[in-house]
Amino acid sequence: MTDDRFENSPDLAETSEATMIVDANALKQAQANQGQDRDQAYLIVISGPHVGKMFKVEDDQSTVGRSSKADMYVNDVGISRKHAKLLTWGDDVFIEDLQSANGTYLNGTRISRRQQLQDGDKITLGSTTILKFTYHDRLDETFQKQMFDAALRDGLTGAYNKNFLMNHLNTEMAFALRHTTPLSVIMFDVDKFKPVNDTYGHLAGDAILKRLSEIAIATLRSDDIFARYGGEEFTIVSRGTTIDAAAIIAERLRQIVENTDFIFEGQHIPITISLGVASLPDIPASTSEELIDAADKALYRAKHGGRNQVCRADQ
């Protein structure tokens, strides 16, 4: 049995816009471009604190390690500062261990000499980080970067998401506790954010959160991690930073936000933030959750002490 509504209706394809005629030369060039750069080598983190991160192998020699000076920086406490080296000769790429503490493993076997890498090889550094060696073209690279950002970034603000924050902070905590170095966490949120949403609408609220993220990212060091913890609450992780220095960072950010004109659809919206600061070793925290909780309690005191201020967990 047929449905008369569809039996006599025109074919949808017949009523759509006319098919665009593609230039034959342009089509050939596009098809050629899809595979022309397939020989570009990359390392992609498939396990560990930086899952999804992509490194392009483009120099004759590149170091991989935990040092910020390494060509391919991987912040994992199980990785040596200079852990391994990649060498390129023509189209071939080789890997060499640099006498690392925990060794470099290629497809599950610890290497003792220089080894040539093949497409799809798995490289294990330390105990948690695994890199995949592969060849990509430009389209692959763009797609991989988009997937990396989507997995680690908050869609609205562009800040890191909570999952990335906690993974990163766990690594930083382990390093700080092991080496007795300072580590600071700053928590902040928008004062009276609900009335802002109720008065100006949620689109205005979203615009404010995006602008706040831009301000924070521009204010912080490149080594600091800025993440959206949830709702209108954000977190900053600052390695090697004492509680005094972190309080100065928090106060500078508070002042910048207070003096910024937040304007949405021609309306000026006054915005302030309250901040809480907690640091190792001032706070006897042994887990990421304990350090965040200390900063959050300091934030709570700032909110209930009049808002638009910074409170420290050690006071």
Dihedral sign of CA atoms 236, 48, 84, 135 in order: negative
Q: Which ranges constitute the DSSP H helices of the chain?
A: 4-7, 12-15, 24-36, 138-152, 162-179, 193-200, 202-219, 243-258, 288-304
CB 95 within 8 Å of CB 86: yes
Using a CB cutoff of 8 Å and minimum separation of 24, what contacts does 253-258 make?
253/186, 253/188, 253/215, 253/216, 253/219, 254/188, 254/308, 254/309, 254/310, 256/215, 256/219, 257/212, 257/215, 258/308
Q: CA 159, CA 234: separation in Å to the nearest integer?
A: 9
Residue 176's SS3 state is helix
Alpha-carbon span 315 to 309, nearest angstrom: 14
H-helix or E-strand containing 94? strand 92-97
Q: How far apart are CA 259 and CA 146, in angstroms?
A: 34
Write the DSSP assignment of 247-304 as a string of letters: HHHHHHHHHHHHTS--EETTEE----EEEEEEEETTS---SHHHHHHHHHHHHHHHHH
Catalytic residue positions? 232
Element (H, E) at 233: strand 233-239
